[in-house]
Structure 1
């Protein structure tokens, strides 16, 4: 009741709409951050480590010549012995390109039941954190 009366009393004030929009943006940002953090924590708790073999690598144009955008196609076995193929994108330093050639192995983490999504610990040349690689 109070809320409806408050809305009717302030409906003609343009400042009210600005405040309403700002509050809405903050609520949206908070919810988005909360959901994203919850998903990341779920991945950390429920991920399984394994070794993947690079099947193919394809470079794509990037904004900076010192780094290259690459698309990996990797094969790995899950903990039940089933073989899976996945494709993912990442940014790597040009000087490290030799490390990521077909046939080389990489330690990855995957989520049980979501085999198309995998995570590989490559130090991003622009940032020092783990990169997410998925479809």
Structure 2
């Protein structure tokens, strides 16, 4: 019986270690992509096509997923999506038809970062 509990404990610990390592690897990849876009990206403006919101709890912030269209240097139109946190007082800035500041990768134009300042970092 002791052997079975040891195997279960080991399996649970291995699972949590796998999850933590996977998250760290994913975060490192995302950081590398963002740094690459920041270093060799092209600034442009996109048009918001859709916004889906999720509650931020009892705080004055809203989690949103913004869908947008933007045009690259070659004239090709690309659609993208990004998640962001906005102040509830700024909700009117992020409606369909409004413009949004973007920066896309020169080599891979589908990789884009949205220039929406995080309101949680501004309140200090």
CA change 1:38–1:61 in 2 (3 A) is: closer
Structure number with higher relative contact order (C-alpha < 8 Å, ≥ 6 residues apart):
2
Aligned: 1:70 with 2:49: no
Q: In the comparison of the two structures, how many residue pairs are matched?
A: 99
Partner of 2:87: 93
Q: TM-score, normalised by structure 2?
A: 0.67
Partner of 1:53: 47
SS of equivalent to 2:39: helix
Give me the CA root mean square deviation: 2.5
Unpaired segments ≥5 residues, structure 2: 1-20
Unpaired segments ≥5 residues, structure 1: 1-27, 129-135
Aligned: 1:81 with 2:75: yes
* Native 8 Å contact 1:107 1:121 kept in 2: yes
Distance in structure 2 (CA, Å) of the matches to 1:74 and 1:104: 10
* Native 8 Å contact 2:86 2:119 kept in 1: yes
Greater gyration radius: 1
* Native 8 Å contact 2:82 2:113 kept in 1: no
Deviation at 1:91, TM superposition (A): 0.3
Deviation at 1:89, TM superposition (A): 0.5
- Greater fraction strand: 1
* Native 8 Å contact 1:87 1:116 kept in 2: no
**For 1:24-63, what aligned pairs fall within 5 Å after superposition?**
39-63=33-57
Bigger drift between 63-72 and 83-92 goes to 63-72
Partner of 1:11: none
